Amino acid sequence: MVGDDSGLSEAGEELSASIGGSVVLNKPLGPITSFRLGGPAAIFVEPADEADLELAGLVANEHGIPMLIIGKGSNVLVADAGFPGVVVRMGKRFEWIRQGASVERVEAGGAASLPQVSNWAAKRSLTGMEFAVAIPATVGGGVAMNAGAHGSSVSEVLESVRVCTLAEGRTEEVEAAELDMRYRRTKLGPGALVCSARFILAPGDPATIRDRMKEHRVHRAATQPSEAPNAGSMFKNPPGGSAGGLIESAGLKGSRMGEAEVSTKHGNFFLARPGATAQDVYDLMAAVQTSVEEKFGVTLVPEVRLIGDFDLTAGLKIPG
């Protein structure tokens, strides 16, 4: 088992005997991330319900084992050595979408994808979620990072969420106003898992909604590379600027570290070419960050989450 010790072994046995969902030891994480990179999780849990989530959190906390929450894996970079703890991913049983207490309210499980919610709303002539039609994230991940595109974000349509605080094994309803949602961040910590969310939309013109969604899909296809695995935007846009623009202005498109490459189509997308390692991507992030800082005095802040242990020699800065 990755990072094998008595605590991990005992936790794995306890979860395997108690969880109603699925428990897998040494589960490869690369195949379930958009980068397709990284090593295994020591313990991988797909809960059947909220009770499973709470139990997983309590067991990991009891044994002092780190926990990681992963959705569609579209904004993460897993270290080549993997993650020596418990990884929780909500599966099909959390992938539901339904109408809420009123026509304008849409409720969705944390594993439902943002494009699924966008399309569900469009079929019912509800507007407000068009921006999410091409965002490759789950509802849970989208809420946690306040995902956005085309000038809109989750914070504008979110009413409330059900959050499981894993360390405490406790699930509760939280109003959106309590999340302190800002650009690509919320107050939700790494041990807080969004089980479900409620959105407030508005009646709209079906044709206008369809046209807007089509524009967003076309824009994504035209501006974002798809020829090799990637995690979307690698760095957050600095205030009043564009991370991709700064990277391009620094002459870094096409730069490589090992088999990781800065896309020639979009400077803020890094591609994992055949043979690339997670360390290659990390080193490329550090090199790009350093170059942009030297040329423009701007320290780019990573948008992707780094999971596990990397060789830190390259010196990537992760501001608090």
Q: Give tens-digit pLDDT for 42-90.
A: 999 999 999 999 999 999 999 999 999 998 898 999 999 999 999 999 9
Residues 241-249: what's their mean pLDDT? 97
Catalytic residue among 34, 233, 255, 263: 233
CATH of 6-89, one of 3.30.499.10, 3.40.50.300, 3.40.920.10, 3.30.43.10: 3.30.43.10
pLDDT at residue 4 in the model: 65
Looking at the chain, the whole-number percentage of residues with pLDDT higher than 90 is 89
Residues 185-213: what's their mean pLDDT? 95
- Whether 3 shows a pLDDT value over 70: the answer reads no
Mean pLDDT of the chain: 95
Q: Is residue 233 annotated as part of the catalytic site, yes or no? A: yes
Q: Is residue 196 annotated as part of the catalytic site, yes or no? A: no
Catalytic residue among 14, 46, 261, 303: 303
CATH of 225-314, one of 3.90.78.10, 3.20.20.60, 1.10.3210.10, 3.40.50.720: 3.90.78.10
- What is the SS3 string spanning the chain? CCCCCHHHHHHHHHHHHHCCCEEEEEEECHHHCCCCCCCEEEEEEECCCHHHHHHHHHHHHHCCCCEEECCCCCCEEECCCCEEEEEECCCHHHCCEEECCCCCEEEEECCCEHHHHHHHHHHCCEECCHHHCCCCCEHHHHHHCCCEECCEEHHHCEEEEEEEECCCCEEEEEEHHHHCCECCECCCCCCEEEEEEEEECEECCHHHHHHHHHHHHHHHHHHCCCCCCCCCECECCCCCCCHHHHHHHCCCCCCEECCEEECCCCCCEEEECCCCCHHHHHHHHHHHHHHHHHHHCCCCCECCEEECCCCHHHCCCCCC
Q: Where are the domains of the chain?
A: 6-89, 95-222, 225-314
Catalytic residue among 93, 105, 124, 184: 184
Report the range of poorest mean pLDDT among 3-17, 92-106, 174-188.
3-17
Q: Domain 95-222 carries which CATH code?
A: 3.30.465.10
Residues 236-246: what's their mean pLDDT? 95
